[in-house]
Structure 1
Amino acid sequence: MIPNKEWMSIRNRREPGFVDGVNNFIDYAFSHSANKEAIRCPCTKCRNAVYKGRSEVQYHLLKNGILENYSTWNFHGEGAGNTQDSTSTQELNEDHMLEDTLDDMDGLLNDIYGRRGEEEDFGMDTEEVAEEPNQDAAAFYRLLQEAKEKLYPNCEYTKLSTIVKLLHLKSIHKWTNKSFDDLLDILRVLIPDGKVNLPESFSSARKYISELGLGYEKYDVCEKSCTLYWGPHKDATSCPVCKLPRYASIDSKGKGKPHKVLRYFPLKPRLQRLFMSSKTASEMRWHKEGRSDDGIMRHPADTPAWKSFDETYPSFASDPRNVRLGAATDGFQPFGNMSSQHIIWPVVLIPYNLPPWLCMKQPYFIMSMIIHGPHSPGMGIDVFLQPMIKDLKDLWEDGVSTYDAHSKKNFQLRASILWTISDFPAYADFSGWSTKGYKACPSCHADTSALYLKGSNKLCYMAHRRWLAPNHKWRKNVAAFNGEREVRAKPNPLSGDEVLMKCCSFTQVPFGRKENPVNYDATNSWENLRKKSIFLSCLIGRISLSATTLTSCTLRKMCAIMC
């Protein structure tokens, strides 16, 4: 029997009714859990994501309260029956996920293709189509139709939902490929029209699902992150830089196990999907056709950098469907433990064509790659970014054929990165300008004022008053600052042309982690610039003028953070 839930609405967690309700909930949850030592903690901090013991769950609920919308205790036995051998919490969760997958095939396609709303026009009316959709768009429309077709007459499931469920079951129960193939053989005989509507094998099922666009490419990486085994090094068996072998071990069949793997999600098909929905395709023009150009900055399209880019490249700006991107990255500990010896760096692209209430929403973020390993990639992140930069160069120079569901025509889609988004340490990895040392500020560069504090063995940057107006009262304030009046003018930020010129004056040293790190080679650097950024390599000779504008704007912004 399910305990009374009225205690969940009590605001004062010190009241006896709330305390008794917490104790009754814990007794009920443990009585319906296969794990008698820990259950999911439903407090507002853990949110059913962390397993805790009885006393810890009680403490968290009394301190943080319970989730307000957790009215049905799915993770704690509700709906599993009243018997002691009821389904475990994990199994209940998996069943719930499976039902969601079956009931919401449209939602699955919505998340993948950026579709929103129930009454959208997908350009499938042949009387209105001006051009035939290209191959990628046609595959999407076919999947959309199959998401509504039943597996056989009067069947509850569709072909798409059945295959998704079978693959999901294989994953969570760790079936072998052979067992999955045998199951398909039986189902193809037992189910009406099974030989037509069900795949023959696991590989056929994966190929069918791959049209959803959920695939990725895997590239082996050197143990010390010196080399990405792709392009000219695709078939190499050892690293050309450190000479270490490519594989950590080789099995009896001759298949090698790499030290590290980069997972790259191709960019072109993900940009194409933004135009497969008529509404999303229309909103990709918003920056040009729907924005109010009244001089107020509400969107990146209102910035001087965006406008300067349009003036420099009128052919790119002439088609509002061409995509302007921002690249963001940062590292995190996947297990929430700062002492963990593992870190993951996702690289995300943001399409700024969309209006501000959409472009920063999760469904429109484009996951480009996942870099993982025991250490941060540091400035060697350029090794991992090579596939993404190649796609960006192709999208800039040649573009990719894309079907616009709004205009019902195919066009050549092009794209360009305008900004990178990161915190200050990751800014160093992206740009190559070291954010440590006596010249850490990229805006002050050689004029950075750094003071070494002997007691704490740290550098302190105290010259922020240089950026104030010449007659500002704080320039004369001696007591509140370092005891001196500030009379110096603000430093002149580097221009993009200066950065390009200086980067061409030294040779890039190979990337990779060294066993005995040494100080950088002064002949292969300039001030605090330690490398030629891979983003700079695709700017030189092609968009140097826009680099001038964008670099200067970026440096000014970063000085606001540092100084």
Structure 2
Amino acid sequence: MSALVAMFKHKASHELSDNGFDELINLVRDMLPDNNTLPNSFYKMKKLVNTFDLGYEKIHACLNDCCLYRKEFEHAELCPKCVARDGKLKNGQKKIQKNIPAKVLRYFPIIPRLKRMFGIYEMSTQLRWNSNNKSSDSKIRHPVDSLSWEMINRRWPDFASDPRNIRLGLATDGFNPFKDLSSKYSCWPVILTIYNLLPSICMSKESLMLSLLISGPKHPSNDIDVYLAPLIDDLMLLWNDGVDMYDVVTKSTFNLKALLMWTIHDFPAFGNLSGWPVKGKFACPICRESICSLWLKHGRKFAYMGHRKFLTFDHPFRMKKSWFNGHIEHGIRPQIKNGEEDFIEVDKITNDWGKSEKRKRKKNTTQSNVTWKKRSIFFNLPY
């Protein structure tokens, strides 16, 4: 298996064709002793790897990022929102090729991988590391020592009672896979981190779980939630019902549950994942409606003032008018909302997915204003 993985990596790194890869395999087979078990073709290699559930699901996506062709839309030929066809135009042709999807999402299911991890004795033992390695000197050396971990233990004691239950972190960001600054091609990997493991392993590249690969000529931007749907379905299943798994250490079956603790990304990706506007008048997710934003007429952009309200009331900077905006600061720091308050605001919103409304905005300025009002309601902001 290690030889197969190394050869697959070589094929991908040097962009070998299938025929060229077959020739390479036969060269290696000729150098090995007789009766070796190395497959003699690329097709047989893929077939062997697929028996270990190491493959991925190819899900067709709408050209305009409206939806994924899965579940009730699996056999649809037209997008239910923008009426775009599930196909790609070839150069010099006007007919859409149905067998060539316009955009493809690659999803690597996480549940089969978790089953394999609990089937390996060493890995299954490491997944219990968090149960008895908490720091005793109040210093944070691992997420198990954090306040978030303790809050989860207090709020869901049944979940915390079994150390095998998985606690995950999600990280995503876009990059250019061709290392060419002029290329418009974009690739967005979505990676999961298992925090049950010890610090030297949980952030190693062997332990990072690639769950989604969003590729295309344009980045998903605010439509990334459409592509996250398969992963969210699996995470909801692991949280609500759990999945029965065999534990090789105890030689018994147990119900595994998983929880997403937090997400890791830069500020623009934070706006894509959360829906919060990270630019413009209400760009601060902490201050929200109490933000002190100022439009610079000649610079044609917003500047954000009012940071002195986070200082103590007796701080001398509060009285320095000439150093800042010409006013004494009497404001107080805003109160940070918790997850329940955010959920109540979000629960009032009726989402209308797709690009049909966005296309109308280009022709109608009034429609654009209405859309911004809907977006403002999402965050309970004045508009």
- SS across alignment from 2:197: coil
Report the counterpart of residue 379 of structure 1 in structure 2. 222
- SS across alignment from 2:317: helix
**Superposition pairs for residues 238-257 of structure 1, below 5 Å?**
238-249=78-89, 256-257=99-100
Cα deviation for residue 520 of structure 1 reads 5.5
CA contact (8 A) 1:349 1:367 kept: yes
CA contact (8 A) 2:135 2:141 kept: no
Matched, 1:521 2:371: yes
Q: For 1:297-317, what per-residue CA distance to the aligned partner results, in whole angstroms no more than 9, with x for missing partners?
A: 232222222222222211111
The match for 1:223 among 63, 67, 76 is 63
Cα deviation for residue 478 of structure 1 reads 2.9
CA contact (8 A) 1:450 1:460 kept: yes
Q: What number of residue pairs does the alignment pair up?
A: 363
Report the counterpart of residue 232 of structure 1 in structure 2. 72
Sort the Cα spacing of 1:526 and 1:306 in 2 relative to 1 into closer, same or farther, 3 A: farther
Q: Percent identity?
A: 37
Cα deviation for residue 356 of structure 1 reads 2.4
Cα deviation for residue 440 of structure 1 reads 1.1
Report the counterpart of residue 452 of structure 1 in structure 2. 295
CA contact (8 A) 1:439 1:450 kept: yes
**Which structure shows the bigger proportion of residues in strand conformation?**
2
- SS across alignment from 1:411: strand
**Superposition pairs for residues 52-63 of structure 1, below 5 Å?**
none
Normalised by the size of structure 2, how large is the TM-score?
0.83
Sort the Cα spacing of 1:258 and 1:485 in 2 relative to 1 into closer, same or farther, 3 A: same
Report the counterpart of residue 169 of structure 2 in structure 1. 326
Sort the Cα spacing of 1:503 and 1:488 in 2 relative to 1 into closer, same or farther, 3 A: same
Normalised by the size of structure 1, how large is the TM-score?
0.58
- SS across alignment from 1:271: helix
State which structure, 1 or 2, has the greater radius of gyration over its C-alpha atoms. Answer: 1
CA contact (8 A) 1:446 1:527 kept: no
Report the counterpart of residue 367 of structure 1 in structure 2. 210
Q: For 1:209-252, what per-residue CA distance to the aligned partner results, in whole angstroms no more than 9, with x for missing partners?
A: 22344311101111101111111111100100000111124999
The match for 1:269 among 112, 115, 137 is 112
Sort the Cα spacing of 1:401 and 1:361 in 2 relative to 1 into closer, same or farther, 3 A: same
Separation in 2, partners of 1:167, 1:489: 56
Matched, 1:316 2:137: no
- Whose RCO is larger (CA < 8 A, sep 6+)? 2
Sort the Cα spacing of 1:512 and 1:329 in 2 relative to 1 into closer, same or farther, 3 A: farther
Which residue identity does 1:291 align to in structure 2? K
Q: Structure 2, unaligned stretches of length 5 or more?
A: 363-367
Report the counterpart of residue 183 of structure 2 in structure 1. 340
Separation in 1, partners of 2:214, 2:8: 29
Sort the Cα spacing of 1:303 and 1:223 in 2 relative to 1 into closer, same or farther, 3 A: same
Separation in 1, partners of 2:342, 2:270: 15
Report the counterpart of residue 21 of structure 1 in structure 2. none
**Superposition pairs for residues 266-305 of structure 1, below 5 Å?**
266-305=109-148
Separation in 1, partners of 2:284, 2:373: 21
Which residue identity does 1:436 align to in structure 2? K
CA contact (8 A) 1:508 1:524 kept: no
Separation in 2, partners of 1:220, 1:407: 41
Separation in 1, partners of 2:131, 2:324: 47
**Superposition pairs for residues 66-77 of structure 1, below 5 Å?**
none
CA contact (8 A) 2:130 2:144 kept: yes
CA RMSD of aligned residues (A): 3.2
Report the counterpart of residue 365 of structure 2 in structure 1. none
Separation in 1, partners of 2:68, 2:171: 21
Judge which range, 221-230 or 303-312, deviates more. Answer: 303-312
Sort the Cα spacing of 1:283 and 1:202 in 2 relative to 1 into closer, same or farther, 3 A: closer
- SS across alignment from 2:376: coil
Separation in 2, partners of 1:412, 1:359: 22
Report the counterpart of residue 467 of structure 1 in structure 2. 310
